[in-house]
Every structure is written in C-alpha cells, then in structure tokens.
Amino acid sequence: MATESLIPLESNPEVLNKFLQKLGVPSDWAVVDVMGLDTEMLSWVPRPVLAVLLLFPISDNYKEHKDKEEAEILSKGQEITSDIFYMKQNLSNSCGTVALVHSVANNTDRIKLTEGHMKKFLDEAKGLDAAARGILMEKNEGIINAHKELALEGQTNTPGADDEVVHHFIAFVHKDGALYELDGRKAFPINHGPTTPDSLLEDSAKVCKEFMARDPSDVRFTVLALAAAD
C-alpha cells in the first residue's frame, strides 16, 4: 500500500520537461504533445521518438480489461526481455513520474544522463526486481521532491494530494525488437508484439487507439512522446 499521496503531475510538456531536466536529462530530449494518432499527425512529431506516454481515464472498462489481460498472460505466458527496466508504483498519484522514469531508464543508451537524482536512482536500481525498485524510488528524496515541486506548476487548478484522481500515466518503449507497455500498477510489463525504434510511435499509437476504443465516449486521453528536441 502507498504510504503517501502526491499531487499528480500535469500532462503538460513544459512541466514534464522541467522535471526531467531537474533530474539530469539533457535538453536535447524533450516531451512533446502528440496532437493526433493518424499518419499525418504522427508525422509532425520530432524524431527519433524514444518513448510514448499515454494519460487515460481509469474506467470500469479499463479495470475489466486489465484483469482479463493479466489472467490471460498468467495462463499463456509472454516473452519479456531481461533488458527491460520495469518498476512498481507505490506512491499514489506518482504515475507520471513512474512513466517518465520508465521512458528514460529504457533509453540510457541514447540519453546521456548528467550526474543527478535520476542517474543515481538508476545506478542503485540495477539488479533489483520491480517491487524493490518501487520501494527505492519511494525513498529517493531527489525524485520525490522534484515531483512535488513540479506538481504545483501547470495551467490547470492544482488538485489536492487526497483528491480522487481518475487518470493514469503509462509508457510505451521499444526494447530488443518488442513494444512494451510499462504500467507501475500492473503485475508485469505487457509485450504488445514486434516494433522497431523507427516504428515505435506508430505501433504505440495503435495500442493507444485500443485504450480509446474501450471507452469510446470518453475524450479524456492525452498522448505525448519523449523525442529529440527541435
């Protein structure tokens, strides 16, 4: 169980980029809005894309699909590369931070982190399992304090830490030829099949559309990408 509730990060690229840079991510990588999921809109996103972030409403349909998906994978199994960095989400409303950590941690071959809280956390998290990584981040004052500071910024009214939050952040990354959904609230990473670094955005968009199709009357979906800065 979470020991603390945080104020959630806003799905605002300016806020998320300040957060990343505060933790040691160089400014040549940035979170950008994905304005639409059709081919033309995706073509506007700067390349290369290292990760895709989806913010979506936590609905009964999502929960039902999550349980069904987990049961099916436990029954049939799935192939998961040992190189994937995955961690559990312990703190309430920390899903934005967890999604950003997942995005960076699985691209350290491309992102040259400077000395800082993110690099320190990832160095310490090597060799730990997903649960231990979640506990480690919970205790990382640098990351948690950065979250608290940036959660107060943004364009919308800041919710309280104890307010009910109906949205959740997850990340999609490429690793060893496969597209992985990384959700700190799920039991394990989800392998969505083959992808490449060049097709990550398009393949992630297909999965994002599946999320949207489960709640077709809800418009509260936001897609972002961690990509090369303009």
Query: Residue 147 catalytic?
Result: no
Q: Single out the catalytic residue among 95, 102, 117, 147.
A: 95
Phi and psi angles of residue 114, each rounded to the nearest 5 degrees, phi first: -85, 165
Return the SS3 of 170.
Answer: strand
Length of the chain: 230
For residues 159 and 8, the answer to whether their CB atoms sit within 8 Å is: yes
Which alpha helices (DSSP H) does the chain contain, by range?
A: 13-22, 39-43, 60-76, 95-105, 117-125, 130-138, 141-150, 200-214
Respond yes or no: is residue 208 known to be catalytic.
Answer: no
Instruction: Return phi, psi of residue 32, to 5°.
Output: -130, 155
Q: Give the H or E element holding residue 175.
A: strand 167-175
CA 110 to CA 127: how far, in whole Å? Answer: 21
Options 117, 147, 168, 174, the catalytic residue: 168
Q: Give catalytic residues, as residue numbers.
A: 95, 168
